[in-house]
Amino acid sequence: MSNSLKQMFEKKDSRILDCVELFPNIFKDDRGSFIKTFHKTAFKDLGLDYKFCEEYYSRSYKNVIRGLHFQMPPMDHSKLVYCIEGSVFDVIADLRVGSPTFGMFDTFNLSAETANILYIPRGIAHGFCSKTDISTMIYKTSTLYDSDADAGILWNSIDIPWPTKNPIISERDKQLISFKDFKSPFVFQDL
């Protein structure tokens, strides 16, 4: 990898195998800032999925918890998430049977200020809690959204230290299956 690509993102491994937190360069001047969130060659050189099919965003009020979401095979996907307004307490949980980190979770503080990015491979559930009045999250996924494959596990069925005592949760997310009752179709593949 060339030096310019190495300097594009600082990579920090998560405690969940294959998940990484990326810190892009932030270019600031008297106009504001400029941040590159994706670069195909840099992602390829970092060993990350770089073939994204869809991008969308969500806006959430303070104390909203979304998650823990994923798509079932064959529509499962790698995901790239980052916060462009406000800040969130971001969570991933490993659902890959046979993974050394199966059933474990990791947490991150994603914010517009730090511009950090979370890369999430297939077989990992994702969720977050908005910590500010409004938080805007961007998602890139390697497969298209499929309502039949859309799934999740109950937000409080893993011992995650959510930063609110009064979460705002959708009716759909309240009905998700608990982690202990979830029969995972995801199988860890050691590269």
Q: Do 139 and 99 touch, CB atoms closer than 8 A?
A: no
Active site residue 77: no
Half-sphere exposure of 13 (CA within 13 A, CB side): 5
Q: Give 114: exposed, middle or buried? Use CB within 10 Å, 0-12, 13-18, 19+.
A: middle
Contacts 24+ apart (CB under 8 A), 171-178: 173/65, 173/66, 173/67, 176/68, 176/151, 176/152, 177/152, 177/153, 178/153, 178/154
Candidates 50, 82, 119, 139; catalytic one: 139
Q: Do 139 and 70 touch, CB atoms closer than 8 A?
A: no
Candidates 50, 69, 82, 119; catalytic one: 69
Neighbours of 86 (CB within 10 A): 21
Beta bridge partners of 57: 138
Active site residue 61: no
For residue 7, how far is the Cα from the chain centroid?
Answer: 22
- CA dist., res. 63 & res. 60, Å (int): 8
Residues classed as catalytic: 69, 139
